[in-house]
Amino acid sequence: MLDLTNKIALITGGGSGIGKAVAILFAKQGAIVCILDMDEAGGNKTAEDIKTLGGHAVFFKCNVTRQLEVREVVGEIYNDFGSIDILVNNAGIAHIGKAEATSEEDFDKVIAVNVKGVYNCLYAVLPIMKISGGVICNLASVASSVGLADRFAYTTSKAAVVGMTLSVAKDYLQDKIRCNSVSPGRVHTPFVDGYLSKTYPGKEQEMFEKLSKTQPIGRMGQPEEIAGLILYLCSDEAAFITGSDYPIDGGFIKLNS
């Protein structure tokens, strides 16, 4: 089950966090993993880790906000491997602030990465997938369902991701392309550690525990747990699933009221 042998999987933001966990898990299941990331060191490290485990991975430095750059990388992948079977739109950034505290520059930056970046990858990959079908999984967030305090731009962007997921699922049914999204709650990634170090110097552990307790289950998720759900949705075992968003949030949406 959950076999991805020789599937060509393109994963954005694969240099760290959830994207790295997805890349490693997909490779363990037999996929040929193409990692797209702006972080050259992180992307190469993920690829090397996969190769050390006996898997197959290639890193491409790519800014997902630039459509021409995305199209060139996707074209190179298609020329090298002959198909793209799976797309995981994971690359994203966060921003803290209410609407009135969000500058135009910050708003545009979040939308460029979290919304336009997803669109650019869809735009480049969908014509290839129309040839023989494929699977897409977009990273949304619990923010898209309930909104998060002081996360105006981020919440806006992730709601757009869910909308794009539904649109693509409906438009490409006849092309044998499935499209779903996952909505993680708070996940322990390097971003969280960096945020705590910058915002609460000297109180990192205290604030980590406080943030963990905002999840009803009592802890943050692990990247590998999110990767497991994404693997299932991108596998043949999930062939009857499309146009759906899946919370994976420690009970945050349903149990936090």
Residue 31: which region, alpha, beta or left (left: phi > 0; alpha: psi -120 to 50)? beta
Pairwise CA distance, residues 101 & 152, whole Å: 9
**Among residues 150, 67, 64, which one has the least CA distance to residue 114?**
64
Q: Which residues are catalytic?
A: 154
Give me the pLDDT at residue 257, please: 60
Angstrom distance (rounded) from CA 12 to CA 84: 13
pLDDT of residue 144: 95
pLDDT tens digits for 5-35? Answer: 999 999 999 999 999 999 999 999 999 999 9
Model pLDDT for residues 42-76, shown as the tens digit of each residue: 999 999 999 999 999 999 999 999 999 999 999 99
Domain ranges for the chain: 8-187+222-255
Tens digit of each residue's pLDDT (9 = 90 or more) over 178-198:
999 999 999 999 889 988 998
Q: Average pLDDT, stretch 101-106?
A: 98
Average pLDDT over the chain, rounded to an integer: 97
8-187+222-255 belongs to which CATH class?
alpha beta
> Residue 83 half-sphere exposure, CB side, CA atoms within 13 Å?
14
Exposure string for 88-101, b = 16+ CB within 10 A, e = fewer: bbbbbbbbbeeeee
Q: What is the pLDDT of residues 203-255, one digit of tens each?
A: 999 999 999 998 999 999 999 999 999 999 999 999 999 999 999 999 999 99
